[in-house]
């Protein structure tokens, strides 16, 4: 393919497709305004943990991928920058997207196509990006990412994806860029439908996790095993209930539904309630911890939270249920007293955070499993002799208490 692609934003979402395209023979330059990040990538450092990423990185480097802090002249730009939301208005804050597009506009030709990969609330491109073009005939597209942290490389290749474009010709061009590596179906549509369908996908999952979490409350009250109830209900051919847990973290599912609530407050009672149920789950966990502490006569300083990331086997702590729980504990003046450990997190994020499992276990009698990292799945005997409150349903045994 005789095109140059400039991927703008080299974080969790931008780096994998940049590497993937380069590994499949596309001429790629990766740009990030964070010069430190660019320097690390230029030094061949794989900047986050993800299975298969180091190999992919090597292939991309062999094929000549370049990293630069300067925006490039290219045929296609793929913008993968963060899209935070305003916690008060519940609306998207598009500042990183608009800043990236403004930077691209300074260097690009009028024949360029700018693709937004970042998740954005429906209407953002027309409202905030298109006006930046002025009278220039630059074309826009939206190709929202769908990869799941923990299985990114496989999903990049095998998932179906959506390309929303201004016209069919642009859609086909962008489809050909993604088809360089994507074996899934690439569906063409318009920009607004692509924006809406992405947010709808994550909202669907949030609502379904909320249902599972609500069932955990009902079953606890009824003295029943929620996992057994779900296991049996899921034998029905049209029922597929998700798994209750300590809450919903990550920067996607816990954020995107708010875009719809923020823009359509009168039309989203279900979505709003589901968000509130999932945001309230750490509070349910706190209440359950107190019950276990009381029943087993364990003091707060001997309680340990295992896992700080938002889910298993990733190093991402954004919106993590454990951090939400620690915030809640802080308001009860006990946050600084519990022990904390995560094998994937080296930065210190909490007082009493241990850097080894051995010292963590030494310090606690009750282990609250907040994240089901493989370490525990593969070696459940590590927790022998402890009282375990397992919020992820990965362990069994006489001393294990479930949700």
Binding site for ligand SAJ (CB under 6 A): 119, 145-149, 201-202, 205, 209, 242-243, 245, 248-250, 252-253, 310-311
* Closer by beta carbon to ligand SAJ, 108 or else 340: 340
Min dist CB 249 to ligand SAJ, Å, is: 4
Nearest Cα neighbor of 403 from 248, 392, 394 is: 392
Catalytic residue check, 252: yes
Interatomic CA distance for residues 212 and 206, integer angstroms = 10
Report whether 226 contacts 215 (CB < 8 A): yes
Q: Residue 90: in which H helix or E strand, if any?
A: none
Give least dist CB 307 to ligand SAJ, A. Answer: 10
Token readout for 395 is 């362990």
- Look up 106 and say whether it is catalytic: no
CB of 205 to ligand SAJ, least distance (A): 4
Select 165 or 314, whichever has its Cβ closest to ligand SAJ: 314
CA distances from 46 to 77, 79, 92 (A): 22, 20, 29
Q: Judged by CB, which is closer to ligand SAJ: 83, or 170?
A: 83
Residue 73 CB, nearest approach to ligand SAJ (Å): 29
CB of 256 to ligand SAJ, least distance (A): 7
Catalytic residue among 108, 198, 311, 364: 198
Nearer Cβ to ligand SAJ (319/365): 319
Contact yes or no for 121/199 (Cβ under 8 A):
yes
Only one residue has tokens 């140059």, namely: 4
Active-site residue, selected from the candidate residues 219, 252, 311, 364: 252
**Residue with Cβ nearer ligand SAJ (148 or 179):** 148
Gap between the Cα atoms of 327 and 37, Å rounded: 29
- Tell me the pairing of strands 387-390 and 161-165: unpaired
> Of 377, 398, 374, 373, which is closest to residue 388 (Cα–Cα)?
398
Check: CB of residue 368 under 8 Å from CB of residue 306.
yes
The 3-state DSSP composition of the chain as helix, strand, coil percent (nearest 5) reads 45, 15, 40
* Helix (H) / strand (E) containing 79: strand 76-79
Shortest distance, position 38 Cβ to ligand SAJ, whole Å: 23
Q: Which residue in the block uniquely carries the two structure tokens 């294990």?
A: 400
**Angle 256-263/191-222 helices, nearest 10 degrees?**
110
Q: Please say which residue, 202 or 339, places its beta carbon nearer to ligand SAJ.
A: 202
Nearer to ligand SAJ, 148 or 153 (CB): 148
Q: Closest Cα partner for 103 from 53, 31, 39?
A: 31
Please report how close the Cβ of residue 293 comes to ligand SAJ at its closest, in angstroms.
Answer: 23
Helices 226-233 and 191-222 pack at an angle, to 10 degrees, of 130
Give dist(CA 256, CA 79) in Å, integer: 18
Do residues 234 and 240 lie in contact, with contact meaning Cβ atoms separated by under 8 Å? yes
Q: Which residues are catalytic?
A: 198, 252
């Amino acid at each position: 393919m005789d095109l140059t692609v400039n991927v703008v934003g080299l974080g969790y979402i931008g780096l994998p497709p940049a590497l993937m395209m380069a590994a499949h023979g596309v001429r790629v330059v990766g740009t990030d305004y964070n010069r430190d990040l660019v320097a690390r990538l230029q030094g061949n450092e794989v900047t986050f943990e993800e299975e298969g990423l180091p190999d992919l990185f090597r292939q991309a480097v062999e094929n000549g991928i370049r990293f630069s802090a300067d925006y490039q002249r290219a045929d296609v730009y793929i913008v993968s920058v963060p899209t935070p939301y305003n916690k008060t208005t519940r609306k998207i804050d598009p500042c990183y997207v608009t800043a990236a597009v403004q930077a691209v506009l300074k260097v690009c030709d009028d024949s360029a196509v700018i693709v937004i990969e970042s998740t954005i609330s429906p209407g953002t491109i027309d409202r905030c990006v298109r006006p930046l073009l002025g009278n220039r005939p630059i074309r826009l597209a939206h190709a929202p990412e769908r990869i799941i942290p923990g299985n990114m490389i496989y999903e990049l290749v095998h998932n179906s994806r959506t390309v929303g474009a201004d016209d069919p010709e642009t859609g086909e061009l962008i489809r050909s860029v993604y088809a360089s590596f994507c074996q899934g179906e690439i569906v063409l549509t318009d920009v607004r439908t692509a924006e809406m369908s992405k947010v709808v996908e994550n909202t669907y999952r949030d609502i379904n996790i909320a249902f599972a979490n609500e069932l955990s409350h009902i079953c606890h009250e009824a003295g029943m095993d929620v996992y057994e109830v779900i296991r049996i209900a899921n034998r029905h051919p049209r029922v597929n209930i998700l798994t209750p847990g300590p809450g919903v973290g990550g920067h996607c599912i816990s954020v995107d539904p708010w875009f719809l609530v923020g823009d359509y407050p009168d039309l989203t009672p279900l979505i709003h309630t589901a968000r509130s149920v999932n945001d309230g789950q750490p509070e349910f966990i706190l209440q359950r911890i107190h019950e276990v502490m009381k029943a087993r006569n364990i003091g707060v300083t001997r309680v340990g939270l295992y896992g700080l990331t938002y889910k298993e086997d990733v190093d991402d702590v954004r919106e993590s249920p454990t951090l939400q729980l620690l915030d809640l504990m802080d308001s009860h003046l006990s946050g600084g007293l519990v022990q904390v450990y995560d094998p994937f997190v080296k930065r210190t994020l909490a007082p009493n955070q241990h850097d080894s499992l051995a010292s963590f276990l030494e310090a606690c009698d009750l282990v609250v499993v907040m994240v089901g990292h493989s370490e525990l799945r593969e070696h459940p005997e590590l927790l022998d002799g402890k009282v375990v409150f397992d919020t992820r349903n990965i362990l069994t045994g006489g001393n294990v208490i479930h949700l």
